[in-house]
A and B are shown apart, each in its own frame.
Chain A
């Protein structure tokens, strides 16, 4: 361990880091702009200058840039001598000559790194009396606002967007005082990670356009730690509320999960919480027309007592998007044998297959952070950017691991970003993708193979066989495929951290099995084998661990068991089963109770609808695709009768089923009962401290100490300042009162530290800057294969599919913007939803006499759909990709075999919204949805 002398004190520090990172990790305040822990050093801004002395006799010293200087043993530096202090102040003065000083109207104001650093360097007075350069701003799409005049040219934006996220359309233009960061012309940013510019930019050049719509300063936001609900990865977020609406989402650092970044779906998909589609009061259907009208609590009690008096048989349908606690409450109400997981049958079997693969091992499910460290990647059947966006960002870093290794051999540390890139040039890690069509990671792939699903599985199994000849062989493989399998096998075997990525989105179990097979084969000879299996929703893995029952053969189950009451928890069954089946199901029972936060076709048919909290109004635990249990906390207390799903279930639970009203006072009681009942989930208790946790007798404050307007914000209703709501479920208070120091990592409600108002204050919350949060990153892993006995190989090898005549394989096509149930209710996200079309190989299209834009009629079973055609050379011959998960589109069980009919003349213009699709205009660009038969 090198010892480092700083201003008369000696510190023992870690070798190999740069001086800036070390100083910040020691808690010293050294200003910087261009450096970022995830992006490394380039020495562009010169702000972190410190003075280095040759030895103890040297009293003159020389200025060095801390971010570009590796720490060496016996190093002597000063941060405080006049020379370096003056240099830093002068430098920021120069940077500020073109800055407009428009903080009062700038969205960054109050959480601006530039403000913080300006104050830190002591540049208190403006002496620049001349004309400032001005720029035109660009339209960058619905997510990001552009205000170039504020730029101080630190280059962080392009270093994240272009270098880290491989985005093609943001760059630096011109030179000197005219350097401009933007696109070549106006237009929406293409990268799915553009929102990170908001946090990466140290000032107000790139700001959150959705926040602008209902702007609130950081110090006026009520915030709490949350977990993103928009995919299966469980990225950690911080949501901020004011006046009862969610104003924005920003990143909540978790070193093991999302690190410093979020995807745009997670960041900008929050508006469903504020949308008019919310269910805000209990509703019951009444009268002949069965229209739903608001009902009183007494009426609910009456309905429930009717249900209880009849000792109804209750069937509970849970949900992969509801918390473990809510699902467990329903499981207790209905009884484990009458509780179903609420996933589509095929999806359920795939999630359970993924769960068993992760449990059996021998490969370990990797975290997002570990995925970024992989140095050889093979993806089977997933377009990761669309199904698990942040994993794609990690995999882009994996593609660069070989560069980092190469640099290490040349004695270049990983943080020396420009040098690492210069050395590696275009070189990338071995990266293979087998998919049915184009994917958003194709640009980093060494080789890409586009084949139907069974082809992917066969290639995967061939790779496993090439790694370990005792794995089942694949017959009838073309020579080129054999060669490719050998190449992939060699790449994985030669890697230090091989990673196999697959998931449930293709809907094909043999693809998942093939991915597992490769890891089993690899584990025969090596220790560190990583697997990442993508699951569809935020708690898919959790519900699979909790519930045994599935929606398979649901009609028969209902007939044979004679259920009278159906309780549906946070689930729209029309997204899980064919609509005819759901219609019949809802008709077949006496009472349907739906507990949900947003109106859905299912809730509209319920006899009783109970308003549940979204992630922002409830607490709970989710299990992500890694098997990591993470707690999310309520942001604000909603008005009216919205409450947590588990509370509703508790309240309607009859005496005969064990009265839990007295037993379940708060969330901790539910968690405790859950952990006792379900041993596999027992560790979720460790995900976060319980509700009675206090620091120095205090709760953790959800509101910053600078929160303004508290006595005035409801003055239009009452002149008395209301008592803050109480929170029985968490260690947080709904007010400014409470502990303001650094709480345990799972309870960090915001990043702030004296003098550090921006997101960069995160430095103060980490054990070492860029590393774990103090006390360890939040979340607890539930699944770890013990590695005692290696599971055997899957023996069944799928045959080559033979599609006859017009038959094609229909493949689900998932879209980051469009396929997820709730983010599409956000206006900003709606602008990014691509129109619905089917993607075909040009040869297949020619056979069926279809051209780009012509309408394809596709039949599968009794489903018939008609959509415009897009042609793509990468789409595997014999497959047709069909948009999946779009709101309002009929549910289709994919993948399936289908017939692609002859091109039909379109009777309606697909670009004109169909009058039958009532409601908002967001689906105007997929107006053909009503053509789905």
Chain B
């Protein structure tokens, strides 16, 4: 069941479009903002609101790698694996993160604090390697810097 708040926010988005189906991505983002991810149940609920079949909505959901269809940790770390970061030592940063968190790419820590995902270019090649946690961008990464950053997300 969508909450009243989620419904209201989605309704507001629907008004911006000629066809309400066009608001489906925004609707999923809204639900993800509230719940961290989009469950099968949420897919069915949003689809009903959009006059779409759950299959059609899930088709859109699964196309975008930033719509999470599985639960994620409290903080999602996205580490850039594109060419500039790769040249500047992405692999070391990735290995350091994996070791530090005790997880592989695509996994969530046992305490549910972090999910580690690869991402394509974060648009900050001049300060590679880079990563993003939540909405915050971290640049010119070194293993030491990563240790300090992670401490902020207790």
Contact = CB atoms under 8 A, between A and B. Distances in A.
Interface of A: 162, 168-175, 180, 183-185, 425-426
Q: Please give me the 10 A-B residue pairs with the lowest Cβ-Cβ distance, nearest first.
A: A168-B53, A171-B59, A173-B62, A184-B55, A174-B62, A184-B58, A184-B54, A171-B55, A169-B55, A175-B63
A183 B63 CA distance: 14
A174 B62 CA distance: 4
29 contacts: A162-B56, A168-B53, A168-B55, A168-B56, A169-B53, A169-B55, A170-B55, A171-B55, A171-B56, A171-B58, A171-B59, A172-B59, A173-B58, A173-B59, A173-B62, A173-B63, A174-B62, A174-B63, A175-B62, A175-B63, A175-B65, A180-B62, A183-B55, A184-B40, A184-B53, A184-B54, A184-B55, A184-B58, A185-B54
Contacts of B59: 171-173
Contacts of A162: 56
Interface of B: 19, 40, 43, 53-56, 58-59, 62-63, 65
A816 to B, nearest CB: 20
Nearest to B47: A184
Given A168-B53, A175-B62, A183-B55, 14 more contacts: A168-B55, A168-B56, A169-B53, A170-B55, A171-B55, A172-B59, A174-B62, A174-B63, A175-B63, A184-B40, A184-B54, A185-B40, A185-B54, A426-B19
B68 to A, nearest CB: 13
A595 B123 CA distance: 79
Contacts of A174: 62-63
Contact of A184 (B19, B43, B65): B43
Contacts of A170: 55
Contacts of B63: 173-175
A879 to B, nearest CB: 27
A185 B54 CA distance: 9
Contacts of A171: 55-56, 58-59
Nearest to B63: A175
Contacts of B40: 184-185
Nearest to A183: B55
Nearest to A175: B63
Contacts, number: 33
A180 B58 CA distance: 11
A284 B63 CA distance: 66
Contacts of A425: 19
Nearest to A170: B55
A576 to B, nearest CB: 41
A426 B58 CA distance: 20
Contacts of A172: 59
A183 to B, nearest CB: 6
Contacts of B65: 175
A173 B53 CA distance: 14
Nearest to B21: A426
Contacts of A168: 53, 55-56
A180 B59 CA distance: 9
A162 B53 CA distance: 11
A426 B43 CA distance: 22
A591 to B, nearest CB: 58
A170 B54 CA distance: 10
A162 to B, nearest CB: 8
A171 B53 CA distance: 10
A306 B19 CA distance: 77
A171 B56 CA distance: 6
Nearest to B56: A171
A551 B94 CA distance: 83
A169 B54 CA distance: 8
Contacts of A184: 40, 43, 53-55, 58
A821 B53 CA distance: 33
Which of A172, A174, A175, A426 has most B Cβ within 10 Å? A174
Contacts of A426: 19
A175 B69 CA distance: 14
B65 to A, nearest CB: 8
B119 to A, nearest CB: 14
Nearest to B58: A184
Nearest to A180: B62
Contacts of B55: 168-171, 183-184
Which of B54, B62, B63 has most A Cβ within 10 Å? B62
Nearest to A178: B62
B21 to A, nearest CB: 9
Contacts of B43: 184
A173 B19 CA distance: 22
A184 B46 CA distance: 14
A185 B40 CA distance: 9
A169 B57 CA distance: 10
Nearest to B54: A184
A175 B65 CA distance: 9
A208 B40 CA distance: 29
A461 to B, nearest CB: 35
A185 B59 CA distance: 12
A425 B53 CA distance: 17
Nearest to A426: B19
A184 B40 CA distance: 9
B39 to A, nearest CB: 12
Contacts of A183: 55
Nearest to A158: B59
A590 to B, nearest CB: 61
A191 to B, nearest CB: 12
A926 to B, nearest CB: 28
A426 B63 CA distance: 22
B50 to A, nearest CB: 13
Contacts of A169: 53, 55
B40 to A, nearest CB: 7
B48 to A, nearest CB: 13
B22 to A, nearest CB: 10
B120 to A, nearest CB: 11
A687 B54 CA distance: 47
A714 B19 CA distance: 64
B24 to A, nearest CB: 13
Contacts of B19: 425-426
Contacts of A185: 40, 54
B41 to A, nearest CB: 11
A170 B58 CA distance: 11
Which of B55, B56, B58, B65 has most A Cβ within 10 Å? B55
B6 to A, nearest CB: 20
Contacts of A180: 62
A257 B55 CA distance: 32
Contacts of B54: 184-185
A76 B37 CA distance: 54
A35 B83 CA distance: 35
A161 to B, nearest CB: 10
B28 to A, nearest CB: 14
A174 B43 CA distance: 15
A226 B55 CA distance: 36
A171 B63 CA distance: 11
B135 to A, nearest CB: 24
A421 B54 CA distance: 21
A175 B43 CA distance: 18
A168 B21 CA distance: 14
B64 to A, nearest CB: 8
Nearest to B65: A175
Nearest to B64: A175
A727 B146 CA distance: 83
Contacts of B53: 168-169, 184
A173 B65 CA distance: 11
A523 B62 CA distance: 52
Contacts of A175: 62-63, 65
A184 B55 CA distance: 5
Nearest to A425: B19
A170 B56 CA distance: 8
Nearest to A169: B55
Which of B19, B40, B54 has most A Cβ within 10 Å? B54
A483 B40 CA distance: 44
A338 to B, nearest CB: 56
